Copies of this chain bind each other. A is one copy, B any other.
């Protein structure tokens, strides 16, 4: 079956959504343990000013550490070209810039309108090219915005094309607000792929705010998506709290993909053990997911046998 990549974004999206700061050593244990379980891509942090997000102050250290782990693709989020330069200096394999499809959200989140964001994308692209780094633009609020409401699909398609035109090597669709449904995922993936090229949209970043996260993954798989972001234990994700993350849960995603016969390269039992690191480093922090309690699935080969 198809190889599907699971990109762990908990050290970035999960940790930036909670108030507590996880100690650097715990972050390292977490990242190393996930890599050892077979996770091949981790977004280790964000190059935002530490005054804004003290949880992310050690991102450069984490990049350096993560790069020592065999076969791991080390990714960081950047809010602008300044962050991109820091990411490049730190030596990431790839960086990702969020570009909000809702202009209101863009102005509120990064204080830039769409035109200014496209300039920023061009500047980031130049840094990426100069350093031989992969540069992806995450199309945030692509499925709707809590401020603007519905975001027209034509607008998403147009801005995806503009981002590629400005130098992004790839775009991803992000359901920042948990509004996506499976029909919308299929429609929008198909339309954006048609506009920017089949190989320039590989990734979905889904949230589980309304419980549709894995249903949306299925829709994405049907449309040829091969990389899904997820957060261990759904960290940071009481999905109903304002501003909370609510990423889909890595363990449940891996259970589903492995059970479907996809090759994730991830050992689910080893992955489940990594939860212990979060429980120890962030006592009392709610963790989510069905898999830890429900027990394993039946063996794939036995189930498909006649």
Contacts and interface: CB of A to CB of B under 8 A. Distances in A.
A178 interface: yes
Interface string A130-155: 00000000000001100001101110
Nearest to A291: B210
A183 B260 contact: yes
A181 B297 contact: yes
Contacts of A298: 144, 149-150, 179
A149 B305 CA distance: 12
Contacts of A210: 252, 255-256, 290-291, 294, 297
Nearest to A293: B240
A244 to B, nearest CB: 11
A85 interface: no
Nearest to A255: B210
**How often does this chain occur in the complex, in copies?**
2
B212 A181 contact: no
Given A210-B294, A240-B293, A181 B302 contact: no
A5 to B, nearest CB: 17
Nearest to A292: B240
B305 A239 contact: no
A297 B256 CA distance: 25
Given A153-B306, A260-B183, A305-B150, A211 B289 contact: yes
Interface string A251-295: 010011001110000000000000000000000000001110110
A178 B297 CA distance: 9
A217 interface: yes
Interface residues of A, number: 48
Contacts of A209: 290, 294
B211 A214 contact: yes
Interface string A215-242: 1011101100000000000000001100
A89 interface: no
A126 B304 CA distance: 35
A51 to B, nearest CB: 32
Contacts of A184: 259-260, 303-304
Given A183-B260, A184-B260, 20 more contacts: A144-B298, A149-B298, A149-B299, A178-B294, A179-B298, A181-B297, A183-B261, A184-B303, A208-B290, A209-B290, A209-B294, A210-B255, A210-B256, A211-B249, A211-B252, A212-B214, A212-B255, A215-B217, A218-B218, A239-B290
14 contacts: A149-B298, A150-B305, A178-B294, A182-B218, A182-B221, A183-B261, A209-B294, A210-B252, A210-B294, A211-B249, A211-B294, A215-B218, A218-B218, A239-B293
